[in-house]
Structure 1
Amino acid sequence: MTPDASLLARSIDERERVLSLFLGAEQEQLSLACHALARAFAAGATLVACGNGSAASDAAHVAVEFMHPVIVGKRALPAVTAPELARAGDIALGLVHGGRDPLVEELLARPGLLTIAFTGPERIEADYSFAVQSDDRAIVQEVQETAYHVLWELVHVFFDHPGLIADACITCGDVAVEARVVEVAGATAVIERDGTREEIAVDLVGDVAVGDTLLCHAGVALERIA
């Protein structure tokens, strides 16, 4: 293997290592952030993406993902890259590849916004804050890009399930509940709680099996408890 090929292989291995650690640590918060995003969009929110320097292109990328879905049949959702347009009820998504960014932090500190932050190792305050543990800004960028594509995809998973983004869940009173899996069929499962059975979506929880205990809300499994 040539020196260049060896360097490339090491870089790819390191990126995969960091990505695996990130997803392992943040998968629950990512799913919760997606649910919050879907509910905010349903209530009329606009996503306001913000990033400076190398992160500016990612902010634009996020906005385009939501405004111009690449999958036929997925709804377009309002998104901009102009922080000055943010208003109460909107979604602020800030991206920083390394260090601090006063513009991003100022946006995320505004009252009345649902806030999401993607940073390097130094986490910043937000409703949902995701830190990539790497000093290599290229790796930070690639992991963040994977994560915000997950946000886009799971927001649409939530939209695809009736009742998921209603003000209150008709089956659990807007409170997530624990239930045992009694049947599994592809991306759905049947759960049982207090003698009552219900079919739910399990897209957000991998490898669901009969006997698992899931945390469920509005017809969707949010995480595995046991």
Structure 2
Amino acid sequence: MSGIYPFLTPAGDAARDARESAARELVRSTAAKAVESLELRLRVLGTLGPALAACAAAMATAFRAGGTLFAFGNGGSSTDAQAVAQVFRTPDRDGGRPWPALPAISLTGDAALLTALANDVAFDVVFARQLAALGRPGDVAMALSTSGGAVNVLRGLEQARRTGMVTVGFAGSGGGRMAEERLADHLFVVPSSSVHRVQEAQTTACHVLRELVRAEPAEA
């Protein structure tokens, strides 16, 4: 603790009082953020529930036809994309009902390919080039962004559209260019300007989406 918060290290009564005050503030701040995060996620799910169900139906149709999910994003959204792909391709059981692994790939998972494209071509096309090579009509492209304005994410969605893929977008605040240019068939905008809150709500929405896909009939 002292290495992270050196002002909390004991050094007399004044320091002890400062330490206790700082500890109370940390608890208060953490609790407030937890409440804010929960309220936002519940509000998002309440507002976007029907849209998530429609998206899940489209994704389930794609999977039944042999389609693959391609998820992508930058920074924290990159790790979210990897988590989404992992969740969909992990088999499970729900009350004895088998939940098969579904084909899902994170476009940020191959460091060699990602850095080669960024170095040899341009970082703006690291997702578009992969989708052009791997994507097929009927596959699903899921773009995650907190701003909705990352150029490489937008170009990925543009390429997915040209390929004939189902496009799913997650963005924050007002949705940015992702919303303005209507690049996603299914767009989910989290009404917050906080990167942390946006990512938390997006993560919850993605897990709900996975459960809704799982609830869809196994056959058309």
Q: Counterpart of 2:102?
A: 77
Aligned amino acid, residue 20 of structure 1:
L
Specify the SS of the correspondent of 1:159: coil
TM-score when scaled to structure 2?
0.69
Specify the SS of the correspondent of 1:147: helix
Report percent identity of matched pairs. 36
Structure 2: distance between partners of 1:32 and 1:138: 26
Structure 2: distance between partners of 1:39 and 1:142: 27
Shift of residue 99 of structure 1? 5.0
Structure 1: distance between partners of 2:198 and 2:205: 11
Structure 2: distance between partners of 1:4 and 1:102: 37
* Structure 1 residues 89-119: Cα deviation after superposition (integer angstroms, max 9, x where no partner): 2100000023511121112122201000011
Candidates 27, 39, 50, aligned match of 2:72: 50
Contact 2:170 / 2:187 at 8 angstroms: preserved in 1?
yes
Written as runs of structure 1 = structure 2, the 5 A alignment for 1:34-183 is 34-71=56-93, 73-82=98-107, 83=127, 84=130, 85-110=134-159, 111=162, 112-123=164-175, 124=178, 125=182, 126-159=184-217, 165-166=219-220
Shift of residue 17 of structure 1? 1.9
More strand per residue: 1 or 2? 1
Aligned amino acid, residue 188 of structure 2:
F
Specify the SS of the correspondent of 1:116: strand
Shift of residue 121 of structure 1? 1.2
Shift of residue 136 of structure 1? 1.2
Between 1:91-100 and 1:63-72, the stretch displaced more is 63-72
TM-score when scaled to structure 1?
0.68
Aligned amino acid, residue 131 of structure 1:
V
Q: Counterpart of 2:3?
A: none
Shift of residue 70 of structure 1? 4.3
Highest Rg: 1 or 2?
2
Structure 2: distance between partners of 1:99 and 1:66: 23
Specify the SS of the correspondent of 1:109: helix
Unaligned ranges ≥5, structure 2: 1-22, 108-126
